[in-house]
Amino acid sequence: MRCGETGATVDAGQGRPGIAECFIDADEFALGSSKMMDVIMLAIGLGFFVLSVGYCYACDRL
């Protein structure tokens, strides 16, 4: 069970789910979203590289 589901274990007197119940399973993450994040990060890195090369070129012309 996950955190917040009925029947989750409760810490003594705290009225909260136990810490072991609040961990997210790896299966809950969509593989498509993590692959999309990889593509976005690569695009951002490539964009910064292109901007830095353009900046060096512009500074060299000054």
56, pLDDT greater than 90: yes
- Total structural domains within the chain: 1
* Domain membership flag for residue 53: yes
pTM check: above 0.85 = no
> 């007197």: which residue's tokens?
13
* Domain membership flag for residue 56: yes
Helix runs in the chain, H state only: 31-61
* Domain membership flag for residue 11: no
> 């136990």: which residue's tokens?
18
* Domain of 53, in residue numbers: 29-61
* Domain membership flag for residue 50: yes
pLDDT at 34: 86
* Domain membership flag for residue 55: yes
- Model pLDDT for residues 6-37, shown as the tens digit of each residue: 555 555 555 665 665 565 555 555 556 788 99
